[in-house]
């Protein structure tokens, strides 16, 4: 029997993407997965679009948060409400290709974690040079400081077996956006060792606007927050090792 899959989709102002994305996921994944949209009461009423899709596809669930905001806590809430044996989370702007989901699921036959990666053979990025190089620099620093195996630390697109979520939690750090993903990978790598990387090409969003880096200043602030997070993880880990050895 095929494992049941849950897909978590955090959304903030994705009304132009969410309908098409849900239908694409339903097209690529069999049997129909549980799809959980976690929307933070988007001003463009993404949640209303989800309610309409839900009328035809009962596997689609909506969590509408009116008091909280932030990518990391939205993912955590989606995970806490998921039921699948395999859980996937990804961006809702088509930067993460839904066609890759079956490959991620298949990879879990031989390991607990499958990470969609831009930095393995066959992967890539179609974004502005500024974004490509910011992401590259952050990842070079992460790989040098946090060590092997080298990973795409800021991918944000991943499939895990449920047992992984029992041992590794989502911790919102820094700005509350992508930093949690580094923390998750760092902890997961310590516990599970094997992370399979599946190449994908990041495509910059065609519709809707970026939330995390609308201008140079915010992109820089986010980049610095990632760098702080990398150093924090390394020092925190060293500190724990020292405490254990005493
Ligand atoms: N629930 C929730 N989702 C969010 C929030 N901020 C961003 N998202 C979603 O998280 C995903 C990533 O956000 P993006 O704005 O695309 O960030 P990004 O991928 O770094 O930026 P782009 O380069 O513009 O794609 C998207 O699906 C967003 O809709 C938030 O505060 N709450
Ligand atoms: Mg995006």
Name the residue of 73, 209, 211 to mutate for ligand 1: max ligand atoms within 8 A of Cβ.
211
pLDDT above 80 (res 155): yes
Q: For residue 220, give the nearest of 144, 140, 133, 153 by alpha carbon.
A: 133
Cβ 178 vs Cβ 156: under 8 Å: yes
- What confidence tier does 246 reach under pLDDT thresholds 50, 70, 90? confident
- The pLDDT assigned to 59 comes to 96
How many angstroms does the Cα of residue 215 sit away from the middle of ligand 2? 14
- Per-residue pLDDT for 159 more than 90? yes
Ligand 1 pocket, residues with Cβ under 6 angstroms: 10-12, 14, 38-40, 69-71, 74, 91-93, 95, 205, 210-213
* Higher pLDDT pick, 71 / 241: 71
Q: Measured in angstroms, how far is the CA atom of residue 116 from the centroid of ligand 1?
A: 17
CA distances from 181 to 46, 115, 117, 157 (A): 24, 11, 13, 9
Q: Which atom of ligand 1 is nearest to the CA of 211?
A: 15
Does the reported pTM lie above 0.75? Answer: yes
Nearest atom (ligand 1) to Cα of 9 = 27
Ligand nearest to the CA of 91: 1
- Lowest average pLDDT, out of 2-11, 64-73, 170-179, 235-244, goes to 235-244
pLDDT class for 4, splitting at 50, 70, 90? Answer: very high
Q: Which ligand is nearest the CA of 38, by number? A: 1
Query: Atom 28 (ligand 1): residue with closest C-alpha?
Result: 11
Using alpha carbons, list the distances in angstroms from residue 197 to 148, 185, 203, 212: 13, 12, 18, 25
Domain extents in the chain: 5-245
Those residues with Cβ within 8 angstroms of residue 2's Cβ, 6 or more apart along the chain or in another chain: 30, 31
**CB count in 10 Å sphere of residue 177:** 21
Question: End-to-end distance of the chain based on CA atoms, in angstroms?
Answer: 49
CB 138 within 8 A of CB 123: no
Residue carrying the six token digits 């795409």: 152
**Look-up: residue for tokens 């590259």?**
136
Q: For residue 89, give the ligand nearest its CA.
A: 1
Question: CA 89, CA 8: separation in Å to the nearest integer?
Answer: 5
* Mutation choice for ligand 1 from 91, 153, 158, CB with most ligand atoms inside 8 A: 91
Ligand positioned closest to the Cα atom of 46: 1
Query: Which fold would CATH assign to domain 5-245?
Result: Spore Coat Polysaccharide Biosynthesis Protein SpsA; Chain A (3.90.550)
3-state percent helix, strand, coil for the chain, nearest multiple of 5: 45, 15, 40
Ligand 1 pocket: which of 7, 9, 10 to mutate (most atoms within 8 A of CB): 10
Percent of the chain with pLDDT over 90: 80
Residue owning the nearest CA to atom 9 of ligand 1: 11
140 Cα: distance to centroid of ligand 1 (angstroms): 23
Q: Whose CA is nearest to atom 17 of ligand 1?
A: 212
pLDDT above 90 for 146: yes
pLDDT tens digits for 190-208?
A: 999 899 999 999 999 899 8
**Chain-centroid distance, C-alpha 243:** 32
């Amino acid at each position: 029997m095929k494992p049941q899959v849950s897909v978590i989709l955090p959304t903030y102002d994705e009304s132009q993407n969410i309908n098409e994305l849900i239908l694409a996921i339903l097209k690529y994944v069999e049997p129909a997965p549980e799809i959980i949209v976690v929307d933070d009461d988007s001003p463009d009423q993404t949640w209303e679009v989800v309610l309409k899709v839900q009328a035809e596809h009962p596997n689609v669930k909506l969590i509408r948060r009116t008091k909280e905001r932030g990518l990391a806590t939205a993912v955590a809430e989606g995970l806490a409400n998921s039921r699948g044996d395999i859980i996937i989370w990804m961006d809702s702007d088509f930067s993460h290709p839904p066609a890759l989901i079956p490959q991620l699921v298949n990879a879990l036959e031989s390991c607990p974690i499958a990470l969609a990666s831009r930095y393995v053979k066959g992967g890539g990025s179609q974004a502005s040079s500024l974004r490509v190089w910011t992401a590259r620099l952050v990842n070079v620093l992460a790989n040098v400081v946090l060590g092997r195996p080298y990973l795409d630390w800021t991918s944000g697109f991943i499939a895990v077996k449920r047992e992984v979520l029992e041992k590794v939690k989502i911790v919102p750090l820094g700005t509350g956006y992508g930093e949690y993903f580094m923390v998750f990978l760092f902890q997961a790598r310590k516990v599970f060792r094997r992370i399979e990387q599946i190449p994908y090409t990041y495509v910059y969003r065609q519709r809707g606007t970026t939330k995390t880096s609308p201008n140079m200043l915010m992109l820089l602030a986010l980049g610095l927050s990632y760098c702080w997070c990398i150093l924090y993880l390394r020092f925190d880990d060293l500190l724990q090792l020292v405490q254990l050895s005493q």
